Amino acid sequence: MKTRDQYIESLKELKSIIYFEGEKIESVVNHPLIQPHINSAAMTYEVANDPMYEDLATATSHLTGKKISRFTHIHQNTEDLIKKVKLLRLIAQKTASCFQRCVGFDALNAVYSTTYDMDQKLGTDYHERLKKYLEYVQENDLMVAGAMTDPKGDRSLSPSKQADPDLYVHVVEKNDKGIIVRGAKAHMTGMVNSHEMLIMPTAAMKEDDQAYAVSCAIPIDAPGVIHFFGRQTNDKRKFDEMDQGNAKFGIVGGECLTVLEDVFVPWDKVFMCGEYKFSGTLVERFATLHRQNYGGCKAGVSDVVTGAATAMAEYNGVSRASHIKDKIVEMMHLTESLYCCSIACSAEGCKLPSGASYPNALLGNVVKQNVTRNIYEIDRICHDIAGGFIATLPSEKDFNHPELGKYIKKYFVGKADYSVEDRYRMARLIENMTGGTALVESMHGAGSPQAQRVMLLRMGNLPHKVELAQRLAGIETNQDEKK
């Protein structure tokens, strides 16, 4: 397994093409916009090498029997699913940010089980290819970016009916050596500081969309791959330590737009190529695996937000007020509600035909639906407790100015027991964690709220619930009629 430093050194070897504001980024390492995201991802390597967290952060490969990072593991039982959630909460508590390896982790698991099903039904050899690729990922402890979301264009039209066929990633050529793909993947978390990307279809495809039913693995610096690093709320503050808030680990996951300009993929890295009937299965499995996560990582982040609100109440001199205590209790209740749902969907998981374990899909969707609400309420309460100055603070340059700084320090003082700099830093942390990009990711990461509601309606077994009510009301049910 890689150490934290080995992971960072490995990024220096990549020849990725990355742009930000029209300028090419020559190296992601030490770049002020990207280094915080690298630090956050590096924490996954750090905990895996810490004996204190060995049980959570490592696993035994079912392919090789070797000790590996849990982020490259295929879940073998519900215990693995539960440990995953606990690990995510732990790392989120340490970074208060997205550590970016979950998407690739979930992609590997989703593609693993889907390729098995494809081979069983179609006689293909995708699963064997995937297993060999997985061994390569495990042996080198690679960070894989899961790549599912396409730009989509006109959402009322299928991929093949778009005015521009490249709005969904698709196969443009096949030959005896491999395939050539074209298109783009959007909102790619951690892409620029990963080693590989695992492409998946973004939706269930129909027969006309066979070319878009594609899954394959591509190095992030392969010829024809271009990355456009995205803007984030207050991203230019990364050039200033105090103004950034979470200076070491940044905001969310450093998302980007990844363009694939006729990228060649050898057959041994292709795991789906036209088998459109299995695209929906892959999408649904990935979505469930990814939604399972959110009660872990978001609970960890919310632990930090709750701690920041509690600290700010103390700095402001209001920590003893009963209404403040009640609000903090509510933050804790909402946080634990997220966490227990993720644990429940893991504990209620099942074995798939491939032997891999899979979370309860209904409860996985409940996890993410709750995140779209609870995080906003947790952050709202934090804003209530902290006060309006978290959004209107003068800059770090003003704070540290040799002549002007005295005014900032005079008028932003709080309780005498604490320095004004501590209060300033905590305010910036709260601003960083509870606004802009972080909230949008809580809403739309792993699918929009409506996507979960569709799944809840599909899986909720309403006819059974109606039958339960009818029986208790003394109404003859359809089952009774059949008897």
pLDDT tens-place string over residues 228-242: 999 887 777 777 778
Name the residue type at position 307: G
SS3 of 179, please? strand
pLDDT of 481 > 60? The answer is no
pLDDT tens, position by position, 19-60: 999 999 999 999 999 999 999 999 999 999 999 999 999 999
Burial of 378: CB neighbours in 10 Å, binned 0-12, 13-18, 19+: buried
86-121 b/e with 16+ CB inside 10 Å = b?
bbbbbbbbbbbbbbbbbbbbbbbbbbbbbbbbbbee
Is beta strand 178-185 parallel, antiparallel or unpaired with respect to 196-199?
Answer: unpaired
- H or E element: which one contains 172? strand 170-174
pLDDT for 4 beyond 70: yes
Lowest mean pLDDT among 8-17, 70-79, 470-479: 470-479
pLDDT tens-place string over residues 292-314: 999 999 999 999 999 999 999 99
Which sequence positions are flagged as catalytic? Answer: 98, 102, 189, 255, 290, 294, 297, 441
Cα 340-346-351 angle, rounded to 5 deg = 165
For residue 351, what is the enclosing H or E element? strand 350-351
Collapsed DSSP state (helix, strand, coil) of residue 294:
helix
Mean pLDDT of 431-435: 90
How much is the pLDDT for 483?
A: 46
Q: Considering the chain, what is the average pLDDT of its residues?
A: 95
Specify the CATH number of the domain 4-275: 2.40.110.10
Q: Are strands 214-219 and 196-199 parallel, antiparallel or unpaired?
A: antiparallel
Convert the pLDDT of each residue in 337-347 to its tens digit: 999 999 999 99
Per-residue pLDDT, averaged over 377-396, amounts to 94
If we measure between CA atoms, which residue out of 267, 265, 263, 234 comes closest to residue 251? 234
Q: 342: closest CA among 111, 102, 110, 136?
A: 102
Domain spanning 282-467: CATH 1.20.140.10: yes
Domain ranges of the chain: 4-275, 282-467
- Rounded distance between C-alpha atoms, residue 440 and residue 427, angstroms: 20
Q: What is the mean pLDDT of residues 76-105?
A: 97
Same topology, domains 4-275 and 282-467? Answer is no
Considering only 19-28, 100-109, 430-439, which range has the smallest mean pLDDT?
Answer: 430-439
Condensed to tens digits (0 to 9), the pLDDT of residues 112-146 reads 999 999 999 999 999 999 999 999 999 999 999 99
Largest CA distance in the chain: 89
Measured in whole angstroms, the distance separating CA 78 from the mean position of its chain's CA atoms is 21
- For residue 458, how many other CB atoms are within 10 A of its CB? 13
DSSP state of 203: S
pTM given for the model = 0.92
